[in-house]
Amino acid sequence: MQNASDAVGLDRVGPYSLRHTAVTLMLEGGVKIKAGSALPGHSSIAITGDVYAPATDGTARAAIATLSTALGERPA
């Protein structure tokens, strides 16, 4: 039986890698963590935050820019 990743030509990518990528991209795209946790069926938002949403460079830069703006500084 063919799984979803095989069906779209990603035969070397497992379903858990696709799941991780999907949740990470949702969170980086501004989806609230509660929704990012509920969609894949996580039992708590802690799992989503700890396992599926590591801080990427882009996320870290956005966080610093937001803080800089809140403090009245221009982001770099």
Does 63 or 53 have the greater pLDDT score? 63
Res 76: pLDDT: 60
SS (H, E, C) the chain: CCCHHHHCCCCCCCHHHHHHHHHHHHHHCCCCHHHHHHCCCCCCHHHHHHHHCCCCHHHHHHHHHHHHHHCCCCCC
User: How does pLDDT run across 16-61, given as a tens digit for each residue?
Assistant: 888 888 888 888 888 888 998 998 888 999 988 887 766 677 778 8
pLDDT value at residue 30 = 82
